[in-house]
Structure 1
Amino acid sequence: MMTLLKLIRLEWRKHRFARNFVGVGIANISILLFIILIGITERGAADYVLANYHDAFILIDTIARAVFIIFAGSLISKLIISEYRDKTMNVMFTYPIKRHKIIAAKLILVFIFTFAMIMFTDILMGTLLLAANQYYGFITEPLGSAALGQLVLKYTISSLSAAAMALIPLFFGMRKHSVTTTMVASVLLVFIVCSGFGGPTMSLNDIIVIPLTLGAIGLWIAALSMVRLDTKDVN
């Protein structure tokens, strides 16, 4: 465990991971502006998405998941796919460290970062929504502590499943060590999971079995990538 933690810290410093928070900041500002735009342009509509807390929070969570699943795809491309393509991964495999631990450290870093950033965005945007509603009153229904607790639980489960399914593009990117393929797979995954089919607040993610299944597939792919280290992927 200590070796794995050291590897994670090494990956953090090696790739100057803190720089990604600049991208997170830009992403959150963009999400906020997008939600404000929706709130202004659609106000008064029969299906106004910010008319109640349920629809508003689903919209926030859907956008956050979409943005950071793609963000995770870029991290996988940088930490894993590019290093395979540029042969720097083979150099790392000469270290006296088990190969699967090297990959595990990278994937754990991507998973934790993705989960944390989705949760952070959900909570930040939800807090801003509540604050704005105190002044403008566009949502009239009350939000009790019990409902708020259920909301945080739902956010947590949604963020965990999204962080796990964000690992799925690794499978496609590793076919030919292609960054482009990895990013395309991330975008397609977002279209499949986050696109609305019954309005802006309905998506496949609302069918709980689907995100949980995709999350399990993402974790399985992560495990498979470590199992295959001694065969095709190393050559």
Structure 2
Amino acid sequence: MLKLIRLEMRKHRFARNFAGAGIASIAILLFLIMIGFVDVGAEDYAYADYQTAFMIIDTFVRATFIIFAGALLSKLVISEYRNKTMNVMFTYPIQRHKIIAAKLIIVFGFTFVMIMVNDLFMGSLLLIVNQFYSFIPESLTNRDILGLLVKYSISSLSAACMALIPLFFGMRKHSVTTTMVSSILLVSIVCSGFNGSEVSIHSLIIIPLTLGAIGIWIASMSMVRLETKDVN
């Protein structure tokens, strides 16, 4: 499986996606900085406390890379069905479900790592900047930091799983557009509707976990269907 994953990454020149992810990360960081400057002095200042600040960071990071995952699904799976290159791959002496599994593992792994790395990097940057400017009066204990790492891990894992949900809609007619629109709609549902510190990833953890389970189920079903409708 590892060899198949490496071949897929080489085939699609996957290293280019890390450059795209880097650009997306810079855009997120600049947007978060803009929020900090524009919102300063407001009664509901975005970075008034760590809980709200970390939630904002995680929300924007998840939104960005769930959409990024939709683009990867379109490139690695949907486009290959549209261009009929998937049928050629199915003639190889490799089990069909392993081919799809390799592609989905790449999307899942990339999304998980990018969300986790960006959450940790931007969260750490927030702590460092606060040491100089003290715009967040409270302090973090070791227990708080440990809890934050657990939340970030759960958030990254669930987001990487739910990022596979657009595959269900894209595979209906092998449509790249449908896949991307589904990703955007998913983000609009999952990454919106919070109000300050009253709603956090901890209080709504059942929602991302449920959607993550649905994403895994869809990935499993896509491999089961290989022997029937999707290869005809």
Common fold: TM-score over 0.5: yes
In 2, Cα distance between equivalents of 1:68 and 1:230: 31
Deviation at 1:162, TM superposition (A): 0.3
Q: TM-score scaled by structure 2?
A: 0.97
- The one-letter code sitting in structure 2 at the alignment partner of 1:40 is F
The secondary structure found in structure 1 opposite 2:135 is coil
**1:162-184, Cα deviation, whole Å (9 max, x unpaired):** 00000000000000000000000
Contact 2:80–2:86 (Cα < 8 Å) also in 1: yes
The secondary structure found in structure 1 opposite 2:93 is coil
Q: Of the candidates 136, 141, 158, which is equivalent to residue 139 of structure 1?
A: 136
Q: 1:181 to 1:203 in 2, by over 3 A?
A: farther
In 1, Cα distance between equivalents of 2:40 and 2:83: 51
In 2, Cα distance between equivalents of 1:205 and 1:88: 43
* Counterpart in the other structure of 1:31: 28
Deviation at 1:199, TM superposition (A): 4.5
Contact 1:119–1:159 (Cα < 8 Å) also in 2: yes
The secondary structure found in structure 1 opposite 2:215 is helix
Deviation at 1:128, TM superposition (A): 1.0
Mean CA deviation greater in 202-211 or 72-81: 202-211
Q: Of the candidates 9, 17, 21, which is equivalent to residue 20 of structure 1?
A: 17
Q: Of the candidates 89, 101, 104, which is equivalent to residue 104 of structure 1?
A: 101
Q: How does 1:191-230 map to 2 (within 5 A)?
A: 191-199=188-196, 202=199, 206-230=203-227
Contact 1:32–1:125 (Cα < 8 Å) also in 2: yes
* Counterpart in the other structure of 2:114: 117
Q: How does 1:31-110 map to 2 (within 5 A)?
A: 31-110=28-107
The secondary structure found in structure 2 opposite 1:112 is helix
> Which structure 1 residue ranges, 5 or more long, are not aligned?
none
Number of equivalenced pairs: 232
Mean CA deviation greater in 199-208 or 42-51: 199-208
Deviation at 1:30, TM superposition (A): 0.6
Contact 2:101–2:223 (Cα < 8 Å) also in 1: yes
Deviation at 1:207, TM superposition (A): 1.1
**1:73-114, Cα deviation, whole Å (9 max, x unpaired):** 000000000000000000000000000000000001100100
Q: How does 1:122-201 map to 2 (within 5 A)?
A: 122-199=119-196
Deviation at 1:196, TM superposition (A): 2.2
Q: Identity over the aligned pairs, expressed in percent?
A: 70
In 1, Cα distance between equivalents of 2:4 and 2:202: 33
The secondary structure found in structure 1 opposite 2:40 is coil
Contact 2:163–2:215 (Cα < 8 Å) also in 1: yes
Deviation at 1:209, TM superposition (A): 1.2
Q: 1:99 to 1:159 in 2, by over 3 A?
A: same
